[in-house]
C-alpha cells in the first residue's frame, strides 16, 4: 500500500512538472507571436506617426525581439518559431530601410548646397575631400563650376560665402593631388575652369550683397 502511495505521489509530481513545462512553452510561443504581431502592426502605422515616436518604436522592437530570442530556449521544437523570428527580422529591417528618408532629419540649406556642388553626401560637416584624387579631380571641378554657373542668379550672399569656402577647400586638395599623379592635361582643364569661376563669383556675390542691402532698406 505504501509503495502504491509513493508511486502515485511520483506520478502526480511528474504531471505537475509536465503541466508547468507546457505552460512555460505556451508562454514562450505567445512571446514569439507577440514579437511577430508587433512587426506586422508597425508596418501599418502612418509614417508621420512613426516619425514622431520612432525612438519608442525602436525601443519596444528591441525589447520584444530580445524576449522572443530568449523564449526559443523554452520551446522543445522551435524550428517554426525560429523561422518566424527570422522572417520578422527581415521584414523589420526592410521596413526600417524604406523609412530612412522619412526618419532622416531635413537637410540644412548648407548641406543641400554642398550636395549640389559635389554630389549627394560627398561633403559633410567634416569637410573631408579625401575622396578627391588625381583621376576624378577634373570632374569634381567641372561639376562645381557648372553648378555655380547654372544657379548663380539664385544664390544668396550666405550661399556665395559657402561656395567660396568650398572652392578654397577644393583648391587645397588640388595642391595635394598634383603630387599624386595629376596629368598636365587635367591640370590645364582645371586652370580653365578656375579662370571661368573667378568672375562668376566676384560679380554675383557683389550683386547678392547689393540686393540684400536694398531689401534691408525696405
Report how far residue 29's alpha carbon sits from residue 69's, in angstroms, rounded to the nearest whole number. 11
pLDDT of residue 1: 43
pLDDT band at 2; cut points 50, 70, 90: very low
Identify the CA nearest to 138 among candidates 189, 177, 175.
189
Mean of pLDDT values over 107-133 = 93
Residue 9 has pLDDT above 50, yes or no: no
Q: Record the cell numbers describing residue 62, joined without a space.
A: 528591441
pLDDT tens digit sequence for 40-52:
988 888 887 888 8
pLDDT tens digit sequence for 188-215:
999 999 999 999 999 999 877 666 555 5
Report how far residue 173's alpha carbon sits from residue 161's, in angstroms, rounded to the nearest whole number. 19
More confident residue, 63 or 42: 63
DSSP for 102-159, written as a single string: HHSPPPPHHHHHHHHHH-TTSS-TT---TT--TTTHHHHHHHHHHHHHHHGGG--HHH
Report how far residue 216's alpha carbon sits from residue 213's, in angstroms, rounded to the nearest whole number. 5
| Residue 160: C-alpha distances to residues 112, 149, 152, 174, 190 (Å) | 14, 12, 9, 21, 20
pLDDT of residue 104: 72
**185 Cβ contact list (under 8 Å, min separation 6):** none
Amino acid at each position: 500500500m505504501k509503495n502504491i502511495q509513493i508511486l502515485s505521489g511520483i506520478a502526480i509530481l511528474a504531471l505537475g512538472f509536465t503541466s508547468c513545462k507546457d505552460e512555460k512553452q505556451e508562454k514562450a510561443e505567445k512571446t514569439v507571436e507577440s514579437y511577430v504581431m508587433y512587426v506586422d502592426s508597425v508596418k501599418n502605422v502612418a509614417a508621420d506617426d512613426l516619425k514622431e515616436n520612432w525612438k519608442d518604436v525602436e525601443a519596444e522592437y528591441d525589447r520584444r525581439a530580445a524576449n522572443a530570442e530568449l523564449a526559443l530556449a523554452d520551446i522543445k521544437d522551435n524550428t517554426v518559431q525560429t523561422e518566424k523570428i527570422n522572417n520578422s527580422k527581415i521584414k523589420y529591417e526592410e521596413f526600417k530601410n524604406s523609412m530612412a528618408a522619412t526618419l532622416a532629419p531635413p537637410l540644412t540649406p548648407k548641406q543641400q548646397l554642398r550636395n549640389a556642388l559635389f554630389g549627394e553626401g560627398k561633403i559633410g560637416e567634416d569637410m573631408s575631400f579625401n575622396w578627391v584624387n588625381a583621376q576624378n579631380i577634373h570632374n569634381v571641378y567641372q561639376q562645381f563650376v557648372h553648378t555655380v554657373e547654372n544657379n548663380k542668379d539664385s544664390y544668396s550672399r550666405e550661399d556665395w560665402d559657402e561656395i567660396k569656402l568650398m572652392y578654397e577647400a577644393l583648391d587645397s586638395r588640388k595642391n595635394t593631388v598634383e603630387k599624386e599623379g595629376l596629368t598636365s592635361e587635367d591640370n590645364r582643364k582645371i586652370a580653365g575652369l578656375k579662370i571661368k569661376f573667378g568672375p562668376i563669383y566676384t560679380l554675383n556675390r557683389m550683386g547678392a550683397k547689393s540686393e540684400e542691402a536694398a531689401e534691408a532698406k525696405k
